[in-house]
Amino acid sequence: MVRKTLLAAVAAAALAAPVQAQDLGDIVTGVAQEYLRQEQDRATFAQAQQAGTLRAYQSYLQQFPQGIYAAEARQQIQRLGGRTTAAAPANPYGGGGVDLTRDQRLVVQRRLNALGYTTGGIDASFGPSTRRAIGLWQRDRGYTQTGVLNRAQANELLRGTAAAAPAAGTATAGQPAAATSVASAAQAEANLRLSRQQRLAIQAGLTRRGFDTRGVDGIFGRGTRGAISGWQRANDAPATGYLTAAQAQRLSR
Please compute the mean of the pLDDT values over residues 179-202 and round it to a whole number. Answer: 84
Residue 9 confidence (pLDDT): 53
Domain boundary among 153, 169, 185: 169
86 occurs within a structural domain: no
Query: Does one domain contain both 17 and 66?
Result: yes
Residue 137 confidence (pLDDT): 82
- Give the C-alpha separation, 117 to 219, whole Å: 8
Q: Are 25 and 51 in contact (CB under 8 A)?
A: no
pLDDT tens for 96-131 read: 567 788 888 888 988 888 777 788 888 888 888 888
Domain boundary among 135, 169, 203: 169
Ranking 34-38, 77-81, 140-144, 242-246 by mean pLDDT, the lowest is 34-38
DSSP state of 189: H
Asked whether the whole model's pTM tops 0.95, one would answer no
207 occurs within a structural domain: yes
Residue 64 confidence (pLDDT): 76
Query: Does one domain contain both 203 and 252?
Result: yes
- Give the C-alpha separation, 80 to 232, whole Å: 66
Give me the sign of the Cα torsion angle 107, 109, 113, 117: positive
- Give the C-alpha separation, 86 to 83, whole Å: 9
Query: Does one domain contain both 139 and 70?
Result: no
CA atoms within 13 A on the CB side of 50: 6
Question: What CATH number does residue 156 fall under?
Answer: 1.10.101
The CA-based diameter of the chain, rounded to the nearest angstrom, is 74
184 occurs within a structural domain: no
Query: Does one domain contain both 121 and 165?
Result: yes
Domain boundary among 169, 186, 208: 169
pLDDT at 203 over 90: yes
Query: Does one domain contain both 97 and 70?
Result: no
pLDDT tens for 47-100 read: 889 988 888 888 887 787 777 888 888 888 888 887 765 444 444 344 456 778
Query: Does one domain contain both 114 and 51?
Result: no
Ranking 41-55, 165-179, 206-220, 229-243 by mean pLDDT, the lowest is 165-179
61 occurs within a structural domain: yes
71 occurs within a structural domain: yes
Residue 172 phi, psi (nearest 5): -95, 170
Residue 231 phi, psi (nearest 5): -65, -40
Boundaries of domain holding 218 = 194-253
- What's the whole-number average pLDDT of the chain? 75
155 occurs within a structural domain: yes
- Give the C-alpha separation, 201 to 217, whole Å: 10
Query: Does one domain contain both 138 and 201?
Result: no
60 occurs within a structural domain: yes
Count of domains for the chain: 3
73 occurs within a structural domain: yes
